[in-house]
Structure 1
Amino acid sequence: SATGRAGQPIVSYWLGKIGDAQIGPVYLGLTGVASLIFGFLAFEIIGLNMMASVNWSPIEFVRQLPWLALEPPPAELGFCVLCPLDQGGWWQMAGFFMTTSVLLWWVRTYRRATALGMGTHVAWAFMAAIWLMIVIGFLRPL
Structure 2
Amino acid sequence: VGFFGVTTAFFALLGTILIFWGASQQGTFNPWLINIAPPDLSYGLGMAPLMEGGLWQIITICAIGAFVSWALREVEICRKLGMGYHVPFAFSVAIFAYVTLVVFRPLLMGAWGHGFPYGIWSHLDWVSNTGYAYLHFHYNPAHMIAVTFFFTTTLALALHGALVLSAANPPKGE
Q: Report the TM-score when normalising by structure 1.
A: 0.70
Q: 1:134 Cα shift?
A: 1.1
Aligned AA (1:38): F
Distance in 1 separating the partners of 2:29 and 2:85: 41
Aligned AA (1:61): F
Aligned AA (1:117): G
Name the Cα RMSD after superposition.
1.4
Aligned positions of 1:1-142 closer than 5 A: 28-54=1-27, 60-62=28-30, 65-80=31-46, 82-140=47-105, 141-142=114-115
Structure 1 runs, 4 residues or longer, greater than 6 Å off: none
Gaps of 5+ in 2: 106-113, 116-174
Q: Which residue number corresponds to residue 10 of structure 1?
A: none
Structure with higher helix content? 2
Q: Deviations over 1:41-93 (max 9, x none)?
A: 00000111112211xxxxx423xx3122111010111111x221122110000
Distance in 2 separating the partners of 1:40 and 1:126: 20
Q: 1:115 Cα shift?
A: 1.2
Q: Report the TM-score when normalising by structure 2.
A: 0.58
Distance in 2 separating the partners of 1:137 and 1:70: 13
Distance in 2 separating the partners of 1:109 and 1:47: 28
Distance in 2 separating the partners of 1:49 and 1:138: 21
Identity across the alignment (%): 27
Aligned AA (1:70): I
Q: 1:33 Cα shift?
A: 1.4
Q: Deviations over 1:16-44 (max 9, x none)?
A: xxxxxxxxxxxx21110111111000000
Gaps of 5+ in 1: 1-27, 55-59
